[in-house]
Amino acid sequence: MMKPTAEGPRFKSKNEILAECATVGITQNTPVYLYCFKGARASNTFLALKNAGVKDVRMYFGSWNEWSRDPSLPIDEGPADRCPLNRQSGIKRACLSAARRNTGRRCNLFPDRRSGTSALAGVTKGRSMSTFDNPFDADRELRAIGLRLRPAWHCCRARSRERCAALRAGRAGESEEKRYEGVVASAVMRAVFPQDAARRAFLKSVGASTALAAISQFFPLKTATEVFAQGGAPEKKDLKVGFIPITCATPIIMAAPLGFYSKHGLERRSGEDRRLGRDPRQDHQQGIRRLPHAGADADRDLARARCQRDPFTVPAIENINGQGITLAMKHKDKRDPKDWKGMKFAIPFDYSMHNYLLRYYLAEHGLDPDTDVQLRSVPPPEMVANLRADNIDGFLAPDNICQRAIYDGVGFMHILSKEIWDGHPCCSFAASREFITQIAEQLCGADAGDRRRHRLCVEGRRTASRSRKRSRRPTTSTRPSRCWSRCLTGTYADGLGGVKTDAKRVDFDPFPGSRSRSGC
Amino acid sequence: MQELKTKFADAFGAAGLSGKETAVIYEQSMNSGFGQSCRGYYLLTMLGYPKIKVLHGGYDAWAAAGLPVTTDVPSPVKASFSIVPEAGDILIDAKTMLAARRQSPASRCSTCATSTSGSAKALRLTGRISARARDASPARSGSNGTG
Could you write out the three-class secondary structure of A149-160?
Answer: CCCHHHHHHHCC
- Per-residue confidence (pLDDT) for residue A505, from 0 to 100: 85
Give the distance from residue A116's alpha carbon to the nearest chain B alpha carbon, in angstroms: 33
Do B16 and B74 belong together in one domain? Answer: yes
Pairs from A306-312 (Cβ < 8 Å, separation ≥ 24): A310/A432, A310/A433, A310/A434, A311/A432, A311/A433, A312/A108, A312/A430, A312/A431, A312/A432, A312/A433
- Per-residue confidence (pLDDT) for residue B18, from 0 to 100: 92
Instruction: Look at residue B102 and tell me if it is in a domain.
Output: yes
* pLDDT digit string, tens, across residues A405-437: 998 889 999 999 999 988 888 887 777 666 666
Do B85 and B101 belong together in one domain? Answer: no
Q: Give the mean pLDDT of chain A.
A: 66
Residue scoring higher pLDDT (A69 or A280) = A69
Do B8 and B75 belong together in one domain? Answer: yes
Instruction: Look at residue B144 and tell me if it is in a domain.
Output: no
Asked if the model's pLDDT at residue A123 lies above 80, the reply is no
Please judge whether A8 and B137 are an interchain contact, meaning their C-beta atoms are less than 8 angstroms apart: no
Do B69 and B44 belong together in one domain? Answer: yes
How does residue A74 score in pLDDT terms, banded at 50, 70 and 90?
confident
Q: Which distant-in-sequence residues (6+ apart) come within 8 Å of A222 by Cβ?
A: A216
Do B106 and B86 belong together in one domain? Answer: no
Do B86 and B14 belong together in one domain? Answer: yes
Do B63 and B110 belong together in one domain? Answer: no
Pairs from B88-92 (Cβ < 8 Å, separation ≥ 24): B88/B1, B88/B5, B88/B46, B88/B47, B88/B48, B89/A58, B90/A46, B90/A57, B90/A58, B90/A59, B90/B42, B90/B45, B90/B46, B91/A58, B91/A59, B91/A61, B91/B46, B92/A33, B92/A58, B92/A59, B92/A60, B92/A61
Please judge whether A67 and B57 are an interchain contact, meaning their C-beta atoms are less than 8 angstroms apart: no
Number of domains making up chain B = 2
How does residue A71 score in pLDDT terms, banded at 50, 70 and 90?
confident
CATH 3.30.70.2170 fits A2-71, yes or no: no
Do B85 and B96 belong together in one domain? Answer: no
pTM of the shown model: 0.47
> In angstroms, rounded to a whole number, what is the distance separating the alpha carbons of residues B16 and B73?
14
Instruction: Look at residue B96 and tell me if it is in a domain.
Output: yes
Residue scoring higher pLDDT (A486 or A444) = A486
> In angstroms, rounded to a whole number, what is the distance separating the alpha carbons of residues A151 and A145?
10
Instruction: Let me know: does B25 contact A44? Beta carbons within 8 Å.
Output: no
Asked if the model's pLDDT at residue B121 lies above 90, the reply is no
Which sign, positive or negative, has the C-alpha torsion A382, A386, A387, A391? negative
Give the distance from residue B125's alpha carbon to the nearest chain A alpha carbon, in angstroms: 5
Give mean pLDDT, residues A433-461.
Answer: 56
Return the number of other C-beta atoms located less than 10 Å from residue A93's C-beta: 11
Asked if the model's pLDDT at residue B46 lies above 90, the reply is yes
Instruction: Look at residue B119 and tell me if it is in a domain.
Output: yes
Please judge whether B94 and A70 are an interchain contact, meaning their C-beta atoms are less than 8 angstroms apart: yes
Domain extent, residue B115, equals: 92-134
Give mean pLDDT, residues A481-494.
Answer: 79
Return the number of other C-beta atoms located less than 10 Å from residue A7's C-beta: 13
> In angstroms, rounded to a whole number, what is the distance separating the alpha carbons of residues A252 and B88?
49
Q: Which of A155, A195, A80, A475 is nearest to A315 (CA)?
A: A155
Give the distance from residue A492's alpha carbon to the nearest chain B alpha carbon, in angstroms: 13
Alpha-helical runs (H) found in A365-516 = 380-388, 401-407, 417-420, 433-438, 440-459, 461-472, 481-489
Identical fold, A2-71 and A105-112+237-316+428-482+502-517: no
- Per-residue confidence (pLDDT) for residue B122, from 0 to 100: 29
What are the Cα distances from residue A363, in Å, to A239, A340, A417?
42, 12, 15
Please judge whether B128 and A33 are an interchain contact, meaning their C-beta atoms are less than 8 angstroms apart: yes
Domain ranges of chain A: 2-71, 105-112+237-316+428-482+502-517, 122-230
Return the number of other C-beta atoms located less than 10 Å from residue A360's C-beta: 15
Instruction: Look at residue B48 and tell me if it is in a domain.
Output: yes
Do B86 and B121 belong together in one domain? Answer: no
Q: Which residue among A10, A47, A84 places its CB closest to the CB of B38?
A: A47
Which residues of A are less than 8 Å from B41 in CB distance?
A: 43, 46-47
Please judge whether A43 and B138 are an interchain contact, meaning their C-beta atoms are less than 8 angstroms apart: no
Asked if the model's pLDDT at residue A343 lies above 80, the reply is yes
Do B33 and B51 belong together in one domain? Answer: yes
Which sign, positive or negative, has the C-alpha torsion A380, A381, A387, A391? negative
Q: Which of A63, A33, A61, A40 is nearest to B147 (CA)?
A: A40
> In angstroms, rounded to a whole number, what is the distance separating the alpha carbons of residues A418 and B114?
28
Give mean pLDDT, residues A196-225.
Answer: 70
Which fold does the domain A105-112+237-316+428-482+502-517 belong to in CATH? D-Maltodextrin-Binding Protein; domain 2 (3.40.190)
Instruction: Look at residue B28 and tell me if it is in a domain.
Output: yes
Please judge whether B139 and A478 are an interchain contact, meaning their C-beta atoms are less than 8 angstroms apart: yes
* pLDDT digit string, tens, across residues A12-23: 889 889 988 888
- Per-residue confidence (pLDDT) for residue A324, from 0 to 100: 92
- Per-residue confidence (pLDDT) for residue B36, from 0 to 100: 81
* pLDDT digit string, tens, across residues A230-260: 555 555 566 666 667 777 777 777 777 777 6
Instruction: Let me know: does A353 contact A119? Beta carbons within 8 Å.
Output: yes
Which residues of A are less than 8 Å from B97 in CB distance?
A: 33, 35, 60, 67
Do B81 and B119 belong together in one domain? Answer: no
Asked if the model's pLDDT at residue A203 lies above 80, the reply is no
Do B18 and B59 belong together in one domain? Answer: yes
Burial readout A275-303 (b: 16 or more C-beta within 10 A, e: otherwise):
bbeeebeebbeeebbbbbbbbbeebbebb
Residue scoring higher pLDDT (A116 or A508) = A508
